[in-house]
Structures are given as structure tokens and as C-alpha cells.
Structure 1
Amino acid sequence: MTGETRYRALFLGAGPQMHCGVGQFTRLLQETIEKLEPGTSATLTLTRSEGSLAEIWRAVGATQSVVCNFPIVAWKRVMFTPLLAMAIARLRRRKVVLIQHEWTGLHWLRRITYMPALLLADTIVMFSPLVQRELASDPLLGWTARKSVLAPLPPNIEVPVGIEDSKLRHRLIAAKRDGRLLIGHFGSIYPGKQPNALLEIGAILKQRGLKPLIVYIGSFIRGVDKVEQEFHARARELGLADDVIVSGFVASDHKVFGLFSEIDAFCYPLDEGLTARRSSILTCVQSGRPLIVAGPALPEEFDHHPRFKELIARGAIVLVARGADNETYADRIASVVKRPPVHWPFDFDGWWKDIAEAVRAQL
């Protein structure tokens, strides 16, 4: 190793002004590692106005490892500089730790942007055996999966003390007074989450006279796909145009859980099945509302994540056989909403300590 180092790890971030799940994850991970080992980590902010070549060179020189949760801000303005920082780290013989959440679920254009990061990484931290297998099966970059290790993913959001009112929450309260069945879906909306499949289930519930209102708490990911247009077109085709709400980005955790408090059940008919990388699932579970989701594709999906496995065993997460038809999901929703909310014990700090220890082992 060349040069004098002050830190074990340098985390690449986009600053506190970047409100997205990617940035939140990086911040919480760095803060948890710093609590476990004070004074051993630092953050380098990379934005359009911050993070010059000289600043990157100096920051990399002062650390043993560079940790990059790529892209550092959700597919927005900062793509090149994190790759530059990783390249400088390799040039200066620092270890590069890449945090990789997805692979096949990404649009092919987005996978292309990941290619340099995968090549530059010394270690790739992944959260799902299924995603690990997807990368290993890639004809061009499959060999990089040999650099990967599994870590247990925690939720980005902790249940806050108290909730915050909002116009949308009052709208949901009024809907419940009218006898509506509120089905929730939380997180970014993109094809991998099969948002249209939930519409199909809603149409079945409506035919049964259960008056569903499907509430998507989140916003559509902007990209080359026409996800939002196709979603609303399908809702109209199914006669659900007035039975669907898309909240858009909700900035406050207090507001998020205020909305959660009115949801009767969450549902995720994931084509790939439940994987251990689904942080949004873990956020929903903390609400105490029942959550129905397709079962995992691999029997070993949660072997590295005992806390996630325990939630399934306790019934906080209700599995439906992968490949089940929409009628089955409708049946399960109709049955679970009859049970009262159950607030499961959830050690948020413990979940983050688990991943921090896993990442520290790679530094």
C-alpha cells in the first residue's frame, strides 16, 4: 500500500440533499460502521459541484478501502465520478468494495453503466443468492460473481416516534369509512416489482365486491421504459382508474408510516419471488400490517439472513407459491385482512449492525 492512510474505509456519497434509497443506505451504513469503530471511516461527497479530481485523489490516498454503493444516487446526475474514484483507488492500490443490489432486474442500458464498477471492484457485496446467481450467469461478466460475498440487507426506514398527518392520509381515512379495502405497495415503482400484476388482483377483488383501493406509496422510476404510461393505461382497461392512488415521493418517514397506518394489507406478486434484497418489504413489515408476497425462487435465499427468515417463520410475511394465479392472491388478501395488526419485535439497530459487520470484514 502506498501513501499514508488515516481511514479504513471511504464511502462515496452524493450528500444529504440527495433524497433517495441509495443515498440513505450509504449514509446509514457509514454511520453504523463509525459507531462500531469510531474514527475509522469517512465520506466523500460527489455531486456536480463537489468532488474534483484533486479532492478524489487526496481522499482516496487517506484510506485503505473505497466503498461504493453504485449508483451513489438513484440513476440521476452522478454516474462518472464514482467510477473515476474507483479507478483512482485501484491505481493507488486501495481496495475497492462495490455494493451491488440488482442485476437481471435492471434495464440493459443500466447494466452497461455497472460494467466498469464490476470490473474495478476487488469485492462485490450482494444481498441475494438469486441476484448472485443472475450475475454468475451473465455471458460477459459472470466471472465477476467469484468476487462476491453475501450480506444481510436491513430496511432503510425505521418506525418513527409518532406519525405525521397528510392530505393523502385523510383521503385514505375517508376511503376506509366508505368501506374500501386498502391494498398497499411501498417503494419505487418499476417493472421488476410487477406493479401491473397488483392491478389484476385489484380487479378480481372489485369483481367480488370488496371495493379495493390500491395505494402505491412511492413514485415511478424515470428511465427509458414507459412504465407509468403503461400502468395507467392498464388501470383504465381494468376499470380501476378511480381505484388506484400513486402518492409520489413521500419525504418524511413520519408521513410514510402515517399512510401505512391506514393500509389493510400489502401485496407484492413478484415474478422473481421474494428475495433477501427487498428492503421495501422489511419497511412494510414494521407497520404490523399483513404482507403477502410470492415465495422465493431458491430454497437457500435466506440462509445468510436469519432475521429475514424469522419474519417469514413468524407469519409477519405471508408467502404465496411462486407462479400462483391472481385468484390465489385475492383469496389470501381477503383472508389476512381479517386479522388485527400485529407489531412484531424489530431490532432496527441490530439489523444494521449485522450488515456493518459483514462489510467491515471486507475492508
Structure 2
Amino acid sequence: MTEKPRYRALFLGAGPQMQCGVGQFTRLLQEMLEKSEPGASTTLTLTQTDGTTGAIWRAVGTAESVICSFPIVAWKRVIVRPLLALAFARLRRRKTVLIQHEWAGLNRMRRLTYVPALWLADTIVMFSPLVRRELADDRFMRGMVRKCVLAPLPPNIAAPAGIEDSQLRRRLAAARSDGRLIIGHFGSIYPGKQPNGLLEIGATLKERGLKPLIVYVGSFIRGVDNTEQRFHARVAELGLTGDVIVSGYVASDHEVFGLLGEVDVFCYPLDEGLTARRSSVLACVQSGRPLIVTGPALPEEFDHHPRFKELINRGAILLVPRDSDSVAYADTIVAALKRPTMHVPFDFDGWWTDVANAVRAQL
């Protein structure tokens, strides 16, 4: 007799090594599901040392469904193990739910490693109609669109009651006191976020005598794109040496919001435009500072996400027309600084309840 599965869902994770936005999302999603159904889920840790073939087989057998979030930075060297877990799930007739945050923005070689996961998935949860369209435009993967469902992405971190001081925070505070304009960018730094685009805007503001100091609260994602080298070369070319700070990895939410609170304005010039999967934007908005970002490519981008749409309608997020140059972004920044600070109330649990319900419906 086959033993009845003990859990509703098995989450694939990478333990403490999962220090990225997708990793944080996975942990919070499981926590929210556990709040409504205590004991209904468990996690299988897969690293270079954890997760033997036998352990994966047994773990998959304990759950009705297997949930896997891609892309996971920490899994670049152990990609076979989560794929093996999804394959075992199919063999054991378990439901497989793949949460796919990106597609066309991924490095081509990285996309290839995720192709088997999409094939093995019963359901593919996405957070952006644009990403779903990118999948539909991929001639080899367009058949996967029939498996896709949209879910509302919540912010990965909530503004805490207090903040943690740091040497960098004190440096930013001193710079503001000296009349410098602090422009912020939060989250991992990689080509899809067009980090060099913000440098062009900073150079334009510097030409106007506004003394910008651009702070990237986050770190570069290691890859084959030479993003960090090209970034620093562009800083030098634009004459911004001394006007740009990259914080590196920041461990605590209290320290993150200590830094975000010293920013005057946030800016994201995105080639793809704002999408409903940009949780880093949602973190910045909680600081109450104005946030300038490129407008969405699709008019229906936020139709499935009323909370995100409300932030735009209320003016917490200011959209710049697509194909605008650095002058247009600079103009919008200057105009935004004249507005009063806008503190947006955030029902953090409500945002997470929305996405947990959307994923639970697929189990």
C-alpha cells in the first residue's frame, strides 16, 4: 500500500546560501502558507553537499506537491538537483509548481538550464504579463504558456519599526548635510536592471550642478556578463568617480531601511519598463521617498495586481515615458524633490496573503 503524503507542499531551497531576492521570496511564501496551514509544508535543502539522490526521492514522496522558484543564484553549480527533484515528482505523480520570476532577461546559458524545469512543471506561476509574453515569444518554449498563471508579487521586505545605524548610513547623512543629492537604487545589480542607465542620469544631474551621489544598496550578481567591470569602466568614463557607492550585501532589514531612509529619490531606468515582478521597487516605496521608473511596456501589466496599481495611481511611483533620455529622468527627479514626502501605509501580511492564496490554488 502506498503511504499517504504527509505534507501538502515540499519547497526546494538552498538554506542560508539562498541570499537573494528569489530565496527570500521562497522562505516568506512558505512561512505564509504555514500560518494558514501549520505543518502543511516542509523544505528540502539542496546545495553542493546537501541532497543526495536517495534523500530527494524520499522527500518528494512525503508531499503532494513540489514547489520550486527559479532563478536561484545559489543553485548555479547544483542545478541538476532541483531538476532531479522535479523529475522525481513527475515519476511519483506529485504536482509540480514552478515559480518563474524572469525569462528573456536571463543570460542565455542560464535559460537553457531552466528549460527542463518548465517542461517538467504542471503549473508555472509568473508575476508579470511581460515575462509571460517573453515566454510566448520564445519559439522553443511558447507551448509552455498554456501552463502559466499570474500571481501578485509582494515586497520581499517590510519597513521595520526601527533602523540599524551603519558607517555607510552616516556617510550618506553627512553627504546630505553637505547638500548632495542622494539617488538610490536597491536590490541585486545585474544587466536586466540596466544599472549603467542610472549613471547617465547622474552625469546629467552633475552637469546641472546638483552634486548627485548615487548609492546602489545591493551587490553585483556573479555571472559571465562582466557587469561589474563594465559598470566601473562607465563610472570612470562619465567622470563620476567619487560620486557612486555600491554597498555590497546588506544582511539585515533594519540596516537596509536605515540606508533607504537617507535617500532623496530612487530611480530605475529600465529597458523593459516597470513590471509587476519588481519587488525591489516595492521596498523603496515603503521609505516614503519618491520613486521614478520607466513606464510599463504593456498596458495590462498591473491588471492582476491591484495593490501595485494603486501605488502608481496615488503617485508613490512616478512613471517616465519609455524611450526617454537621461534629461527627461533628470527633469522628473527635480520635480519629484519638490513634492512632500509620501508615507504609504503597507499591509505587508495582506500583500503576502494575496500571493499565498494564488499559489495555494495551484496545489
Q: TM-score, normalised by structure 1?
A: 0.97
Conserved? CA contact 1:72–1:82, under 8 Å: no
Conserved? CA contact 2:18–2:72, under 8 Å: no
Q: Distance in 1 between matches of 2:159 and 2:83?
A: 34
> Secondary structure of 1:296's match?
coil
Conserved? CA contact 2:122–2:147, under 8 Å: yes
Q: Distance in 1 between matches of 2:195 and 2:132?
A: 24
Shift of 1:259: 0.5
Conserved? CA contact 1:190–1:220, under 8 Å: yes
Conserved? CA contact 1:183–1:264, under 8 Å: yes
Q: Say whether 1:100 aligns with 2:88.
A: no
Q: Say whether 1:87 aligns with 2:84.
A: no
Q: Distance in 2 between matches of 1:353 and 1:56?
A: 29
Counterpart of 1:198 in structure 2 is 198
Q: Distance in 2 between matches of 1:75 and 1:135?
A: 22
Q: How does 1:275-354 map to 2 (within 5 A)?
A: 275-354=275-354
Shift of 1:76: 4.1
Q: Distance in 2 between matches of 1:198 and 1:99?
A: 29
Counterpart of 1:161 in structure 2 is 161
Conserved? CA contact 2:302–2:309, under 8 Å: yes
Q: Deviations over 1:220-274 (max 9, x none)?
A: 1110011111111111111111111111111111111000111000000101100
Shift of 1:135: 0.2
Counterpart of 2:180 in structure 1 is 180
Q: Distance in 1 between matches of 2:234 and 2:165?
A: 31
Counterpart of 2:240 in structure 1 is 240
Counterpart of 2:128 in structure 1 is 128
> Secondary structure of 1:16's match?
helix
Q: Which runs of 5+ in 1 are unaligned?
A: none
Q: Deviations over 1:41-91 (max 9, x none)?
A: 111111222222222111111111100012444454431111110000000
The AA in structure 2 aligned to 1:293 is: V
The AA in structure 2 aligned to 1:317 is: I
> Secondary structure of 1:69's match?
strand
Conserved? CA contact 2:274–2:297, under 8 Å: yes
Q: Distance in 2 between matches of 1:72 and 1:7?
A: 23
Q: Distance in 1 between matches of 2:116 and 2:336?
A: 45
The AA in structure 1 aligned to 2:198 is: L
The AA in structure 1 aligned to 2:232 is: H
Conserved? CA contact 1:182–1:265, under 8 Å: yes
Shift of 1:100: 0.2
The AA in structure 2 aligned to 1:203 is: A
Conserved? CA contact 1:21–1:74, under 8 Å: no
Counterpart of 1:254 in structure 2 is 254
Shift of 1:354: 0.3
Q: Deviations over 1:296-335 (max 9, x none)?
A: 0000000000000000011110111111111110000011
Shift of 1:355: 0.3
Q: Deviations over 1:18-60 (max 9, x none)?
A: 3222221111001101111222111111122222222211111
Q: Distance in 2 between matches of 1:288 and 1:16?
A: 30
Conserved? CA contact 1:12–1:72, under 8 Å: no
Q: Which runs of 5+ in 2 are unaligned?
A: none
Q: Distance in 1 between matches of 2:63 and 2:245?
A: 47
Structure 1 residues 166 and 7: alpha-carbon distance in aligned structure 2, compared to 1, 3 A threshold = same
The AA in structure 2 aligned to 1:45 is: T
Conserved? CA contact 2:14–2:46, under 8 Å: yes
Counterpart of 1:149 in structure 2 is 149
Q: Distance in 1 between matches of 2:201 and 2:116?
A: 40
Q: Distance in 2 between matches of 1:25 and 1:125?
A: 13
Q: Distance in 2 between matches of 1:71 and 1:280?
A: 16
Identity across aligned pairs (percent)?
Answer: 75
Q: Say whether 1:265 aligns with 2:261.
A: no
Q: Distance in 1 between matches of 2:189 and 2:14?
A: 22
> Secondary structure of 1:34's match?
helix
